[in-house]
């Protein structure tokens, strides 16, 4: 049903409908012309026949007088030879002299010499009644009047038949057009849809997918080929970038690590306090560089993250634990720390990455708020589990709301404060790999960050209700200690 | 540090941490990167360890199986058998020597794989040498840990795990659950340097770098309760490394 509805809303179907409409209009116009020409031609032919007959009667009148005309009319009105002719010859007083009618028609539309009327006064003719179109004329010399007509009912039936069949033809044309459009768009849509599906799975991280190419060398398969070669290039670029960033990170990290070890080693042999503090400062710098590299690598990994490590997570536990870690930090800074966590929200995800994303959001909120409060809410919005982190800090201007999610981007006013500019980038990367909707809004004053889980990842396993561990690591320290001790 | 008596924990002075009453500790370093290995062995020797170094998996496995070590530091990626298979073989031979994995792979699943193979701790490269030392120390002490003890005691500080009670100098100290876990971890590792990362990993079970040093805040809150009301501090900051719970001399 949904599929049918999709076809109706598809572009190709709308195209087909418009095409059918235009085609139907032109076919209608053509049919109208055919109708007009055919029906008119039959009428003209009939009138010509009547006029020709009148001419013969006039000739009879001229040759043999009224008697001759009477004979001629009676001959023509003989039902054995003529079936749809209507004839009447009357004298000056109106008394019938010849023909298959008895009374001169009283009613009927008269336009100069042509007259249309209905009559049942039709002796001898097979149809007892007739709709007649006739020519009337009068001989001024003898005073006789002559009426020569034809029953037009046959012509009218023909006309109606013609009209009906043309209408049916038009209806069939439109119906076939719509059906064709439906089939056409279904076919096209199927192929376009497969391209869309592939593109979507590529966007969600599976770079190895390719659009299927049909053997026909048509536009769509050529489009597929183009998309595929574009994908090849993207994949190459991505691989290249990954390799570059990995080798850069490695090549830079290795010497940095050595630098760090050297400093650490030398610290052990130095007693002079000035030298010591210089080395300690250098160590701190090396550490912050290493931390930035580590964060960059983590963002890259989170972004490229696969969903194979996903487990069921109780968001309530996860949020409680992160809040538990950061709450004291807010209180230390003199900020209010308000948490409102709804129970029973389960999702699938990587607990470590999600915890880190929450932690970064709360950490940011605390870092950029000088007074007021940080509010963390876990709730359900439109049925979707949603994490909201609000602060009363300076907020982020609208034009930078997208930018702050990029790597290493920092607002001018926050350049002086500590941080790598990777906190929100990591949140964005985690959101991407988990299919979450990440929204930055104004909290007036402050910033409000929403992380909304897709409905699809919500797990509703009743077994999970209750205490679900949010961590993936198997054993807490205490238990490992015990096991170790028992083994020893 | 469960149930260690007071004089012994006082012996664990910070300068020669590896030296204990029964002589220097033997450590095996299996690391193929020459320079990294050099720094490791040099640093460990200066810290009082007796160090053997193996530059590839084959030699490392041979040494691990034939010599008695107190602790092993094993790189995960090695020529020859890799770190995981070395540790698996060692465990199959019923050698329970604690193992610290070193790896450039810091992902949680790599960590889990390392622990599953029989490793006891996992340290992602690059690391601070002080972090490595602290973790080695923690591993060495663990082998000497008596079976699960519900009473911990460090100097005048006592913890009852069953009653969830903390007492210092006979006075009850009230702690939040998380503060309790934090103190428990510190008490179990009394006399050793415990790094912030170790606390984050073991008390909170998080394996990421919190941008701000939240651990310091938790420590300072704990200090408010266990140190401030008393005359002598027991929870010390070790510069550039972490924290140490040690009774005042």
Note the pTM of the prediction, 2 decimals.
Answer: 0.62
Mutate one of A477, A482, A487 to test the B interface: name it (highest B CB count within 10 A).
Answer: A477
Residue A485 distance to chain B (closest CA, Å): 6
Chain B: residue whose CA lies nearest to A283 = B240
Given this model, what pLDDT does residue A112 score?
64
Number of neighbouring beta carbons within 10 Å of residue A110? 12
Given this model, what pLDDT does residue B241 score?
82
Give the model's confidence band at B146: pLDDT under 50 very low, under 70 low, under 90 confident, else very high: low
- Please report the sign of the dihedral spanned by the C-alpha atoms of residue A229, residue A234, residue A239, residue A241: positive
Intervals of CATH 3.30.565.10 along chain A: 311-487
Domain A219-303 listed as CATH 1.10.287: yes
Instruction: Give the separation between CA A478 and CA B150, rounded to whole angstroms.
Output: 12
A93-97 CB contacts, 8 Å cutoff, 24+ apart:
A97/A66, A97/A70, A97/A73, A97/A144
Chain B: residue whose CA lies nearest to A367 = B212
Given this model, what pLDDT does residue A487 score?
40
Given this model, what pLDDT does residue B159 score?
92
What string of DSSP letters covers A260-308? HHHHHHHHTT---HHHHHHHHHHHHHHHHHHHHHHHHHHHHHHHT--ST
User: A228: part of which helix (H) or strand (E)?
Assistant: helix A219-267
Given a contact cutoff of 8 angstroms between Cβ atoms, the answer to whether B127 and B104 are in contact is: no
Number of neighbouring beta carbons within 10 Å of residue B142? 21
Helix, strand, coil fractions of chain B, as percent rounded to 5: 40, 20, 40
Instruction: Tell me: pLDDT of B81 over 50.
Output: yes
Chain B: residue whose CA lies nearest to A265 = B43
Q: Give the range among A129-133, A184-188, B114-118, B195-199 with minimum mean pLDDT.
A: A129-133
Instruction: Give the separation between CA A384 and CA A464, rounded to whole angstroms.
Output: 18
**Which chain A residues are within 8 Å of B220, Cβ to Cβ?**
332
Residue A291 distance to chain B (closest CA, Å): 8
Instruction: Give the separation between CA A189 and CA A183, rounded to whole angstroms.
Output: 10
Given a contact cutoff of 8 angstroms between Cβ atoms, the answer to whether B70 and B101 are in contact is: no
CATH number of B150-245: 1.10.10.10
Residue B218 distance to chain A (closest CA, Å): 7
Given this model, what pLDDT does residue A465 score?
44
- Please report the sign of the dihedral spanned by the C-alpha atoms of residue A222, residue A223, residue A227, residue A233: positive
What string of DSSP letters covers A305-367? --STT-EEEEHHHHHHHHHHHHHHHHHHTT-EEEEEE-S--EEEE-HHHHHHHHHHHHHHHHH
Given this model, what pLDDT does residue A341 score?
93
Instruction: Give the separation between CA B187 and CA A40, rounded to whole angstroms.
Output: 113
What string of DSSP letters covers A87-118? EEEE-TTS-EEEES-SS---SSEEETTEEEEE
Instruction: Tell me: pLDDT of B212 over 70.
Output: yes
Q: What's phi and psi for A378, nearest 5 deg?
A: -120, 120
User: A438: part of which helix (H) or strand (E)?
Assistant: strand A437-442
The yes/no answer to whether this complex scores an ipTM above 0.85 is: no
Intervals of CATH 3.30.450 along chain A: 12-157
State the burial class of residue B88 (Cβ atoms within 10 Å of its Cβ: 0-12, 13-18, 19+): middle
Q: Which of A407, A340, A334, A406 is nearest to A371 (CA)?
A: A334
Spans of all domains in chain B: 9-143, 150-245
What string of pLDDT tens digits covers the 488 residues of chain A? 566 667 677 777 788 888 888 988 998 899 889 888 888 888 888 888 888 888 888 888 888 888 888 888 888 887 777 667 888 888 888 788 888 877 777 655 555 677 877 777 655 544 556 777 888 888 877 888 888 888 888 778 888 888 899 899 889 988 888 888 888 888 887 888 888 888 777 766 667 778 878 777 788 888 888 888 888 888 888 777 767 766 766 677 778 877 887 888 788 788 888 998 899 889 888 888 887 777 777 777 777 666 566 788 899 999 999 999 999 999 989 999 999 999 888 888 888 889 989 999 999 899 889 889 999 999 988 888 999 999 998 888 888 777 777 766 766 666 566 566 778 888 888 888 888 889 888 888 888 999 998 875 455 544 444 444 444 334 333 333 433 334 43
A271 inside 8 A of chain B by CB: no
Residue B156 distance to chain A (closest CA, Å): 23
For B248, the 3-state DSSP assignment is coil
CB within 8 A of B95, min separation 6: which ones?
A: B64, B65
| A333-371: burial string, b at 16+ Cβ within 10 Å, e else | eebebebebeeebbbbbbbbbbbbbbbbbbbbbbbbbee
State the burial class of residue B7 (Cβ atoms within 10 Å of its Cβ: 0-12, 13-18, 19+): exposed
User: A240: part of which helix (H) or strand (E)?
Assistant: helix A219-267
Distances (CA, A) of A110 to A136, A148, A150, A378, B38: 10, 14, 15, 91, 126
Quick: pLDDT tens for B67-77.
999 999 999 88
Cβ-nearest to A324 among B127, B178, B211: B178
| Complete edge-to-edge strand list for the sheet that includes strand B50-54 | B50-54, B26-30, B71-75, B99-103, B121-124
What string of DSSP letters covers A36-82? HHHHHHHHHHHHHHHHHHHHHHHHHHHHHHHHHHHHHHHHHT-TTT-
Number of neighbouring beta carbons within 10 Å of residue B86? 29
Pairing of β B235-238 and β B242-245: antiparallel
* Fold match flag (B9-143 vs B150-245): no
**Which chain B residues are within 8 Å of A418, Cβ to Cβ?**
212
Q: Give the fold, CATH level 3, of B9-143.
A: Rossmann fold (3.40.50)
Give the CATH architecture of domain A12-157. Answer: 2-Layer Sandwich (3.30)
Q: Which of A85, A92, A119 is nearest to A103 (CA)?
A: A119
Distances (CA, A) of A169 to A160, A240, B131: 14, 63, 88
Q: What's phi and psi for B163, nearest 5 deg?
A: -85, 0
Give the model's confidence band at B181: pLDDT under 50 very low, under 70 low, under 90 confident, else very high: very high
Give the model's confidence band at B13: pLDDT under 50 very low, under 70 low, under 90 confident, else very high: very low
Given this model, what pLDDT does residue A242 score?
66
For B75, the 3-state DSSP assignment is strand
Query: Is there a contact between B218 and A257 if contact means CB atoms under 8 Å apart?
Result: no
CATH number of A311-487: 3.30.565.10
Given this model, what pLDDT does residue B2 score?
40
Given a contact cutoff of 8 angstroms between Cβ atoms, the answer to whether B184 and B40 are in contact is: no
Cβ-nearest to B217 among A298, A328, A356: A328
Cβ-nearest to B126 among A253, A265, A419: A253
| DSSP summary character for residue B146 | P
Residue A257 distance to chain B (closest CA, Å): 6
**Which chain B residues are within 8 Å of A485, Cβ to Cβ?**
142, 145-148
Cβ-nearest to B126 among A290, A324, A487: A290
In terms of residues, how long is chain A?
A: 488
Q: H/E/C letters for each residue in A5-38? A: HHHHHCHHHHHHHHHHHHHHHHHHHHHHHHHHHH
User: A151: part of which helix (H) or strand (E)?
Assistant: strand A145-151
Residue A256 distance to chain B (closest CA, Å): 9
Cβ-nearest to B129 among A264, A301, A480: A264
Choose between B64 and A262: higher pLDDT: B64
Q: Which of A449, A314, A475 is nearest to A393 (CA)?
A: A449
């Amino acid at each position: 049903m949904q599929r049918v509805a999709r076809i109706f809303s598809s572009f190709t179907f709308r195209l087909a409908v418009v095409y059918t409409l235009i085609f139907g209009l032109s076919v209608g116009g053509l049919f109208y012309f055919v109708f007009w020409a055919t029906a008119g031609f039959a009428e003209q032919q009939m009138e010509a026949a009547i006029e020709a007959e009148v001419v013969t009667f006039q000739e009879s009148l001229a040759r043999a007088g009224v008697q001759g005309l009477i004979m001629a009319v009676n001959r023509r009105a003989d039902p054995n030879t003529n079936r749809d002719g209507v004839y009447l010859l009357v004298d000056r007083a109106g008394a019938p002299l010849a023909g298959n009618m008895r009374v001169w028609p009283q009613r009927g539309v008269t336009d100069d010499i042509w007259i249309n009327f209905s009559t049942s006064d039709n002796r001898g003719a097979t149809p007892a009644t007739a709709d007649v179109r006739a020519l009337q004329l009068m001989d001024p010399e003898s005073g006789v009047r002559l009426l020569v007509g034809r029953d037009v009912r046959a012509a009218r039936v023909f006309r109606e038949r013609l009209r009906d069949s043309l209408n049916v033809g038009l209806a069939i044309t439109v119906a076939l057009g719509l059906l064709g459009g439906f089939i056409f768009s279904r076919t096209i849509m199927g192929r376009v849809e497969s391209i869309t599906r592939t593109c979507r799975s590529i966007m969600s991280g599976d770079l190895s997918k390719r659009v299927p190419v049909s053997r026909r060398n048509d536009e769509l398969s050529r489009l597929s080929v183009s998309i595929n070669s574009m994908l090849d290039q993207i994949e190459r670029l991505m691989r290249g970038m990954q390799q570059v960033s990995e080798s850069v990170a490695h090549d830079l990290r290795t010497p940095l690590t050595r630098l760090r070890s050297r400093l650490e080693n030398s610290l052990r042999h130095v007693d002079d306090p000035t030298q010591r503090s210089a080395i300690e400062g250098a160590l701190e710098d090396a550490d912050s560089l290493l931390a930035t590299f580590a964060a960059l690598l983590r963002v890259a990994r989170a972004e490229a993250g696969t969903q194979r490590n996903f487990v069921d997570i109780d968001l309530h536990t996860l949020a409680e634990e992160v809040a538990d870690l950061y709450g004291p930090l807010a209180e230390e800074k003199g900020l209010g720390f308000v948490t409102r966590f709804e129970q029973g929200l389960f999702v699938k995800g990587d607990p470590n990455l999600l915890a880190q994303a929450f932690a970064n959001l709360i950490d940011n909120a605390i870092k950029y708020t000088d007074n007021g409060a940080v509010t963390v809410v876990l709730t359900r919005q439109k049925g979707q589990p949603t994490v909201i982190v609000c602060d009363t800090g300076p907020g982020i201007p609208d034009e930078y709301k997208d930018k702050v999610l990029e790597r290493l981007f920092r607002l001018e006013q926050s350049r002086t404060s500590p941080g790598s500019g990777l906190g929100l980038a990591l949140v964005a990367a985690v959101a991407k790999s988990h299919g979450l909707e990440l929204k930055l809004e104004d909290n007036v004053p402050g910033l409000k960050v929403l992380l909304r889980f897709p409905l699809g990842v919500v797990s509703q396993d009743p077994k999970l209700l209750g205490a679900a561990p949010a961590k993936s690591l198997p054993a807490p320290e205490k238990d490992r200690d015990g096991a170790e001790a028992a083994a020893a | 540090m469960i149930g260690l008596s007071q004089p012994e924990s006082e012996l664990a002075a910070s300068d020669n941490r590896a030296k204990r009453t029964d002589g220097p500790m033997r450590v095996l370093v299996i690391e193929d990167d020459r320079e990294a290995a050099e720094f490791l062995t040099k640093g460990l020797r200066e810290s009082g360890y007796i160090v053997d170094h193996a530059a590839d998996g084959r030699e490392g496995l041979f040494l691990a199986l034939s010599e008695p070590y107190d602790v092993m530091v094993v790189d995960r990626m090695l020529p020859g058998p890799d770190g995981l298979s070395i540790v698996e073989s060692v465990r199959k031979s019923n050698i329970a020597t604690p193992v610290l994995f070193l790896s450039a792979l810091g992902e949680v699943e790599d960590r889990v794989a390392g622990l599953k193979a029989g490793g006891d701790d996992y340290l992602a490269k690059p690391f601070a040498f002080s972090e490595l030392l602290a973790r080695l120390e923690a591993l060495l002490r663990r082998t000497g840990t008596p079976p699960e003890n519900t009473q911990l005691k460090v100097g005048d500080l006592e913890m009852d795990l069953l009653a969830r009670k903390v007492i210092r100098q006979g006075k009850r100290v009230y702690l939040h659950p998380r503060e309790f876990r934090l103190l428990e971890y510190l008490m179990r590792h009394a006399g050793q340097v415990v790094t912030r990362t170790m606390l984050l990993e073991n008390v909170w079970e998080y394996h990421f770098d919190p941008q701000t040093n939240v651990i310091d805040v938790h420590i300072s809150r704990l200090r408010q309760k266990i140190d401030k009301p008393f005359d002598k501090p027991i929870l010390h900051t070790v510069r550039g490394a972490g924290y140490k719970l040690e009774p005042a001399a």
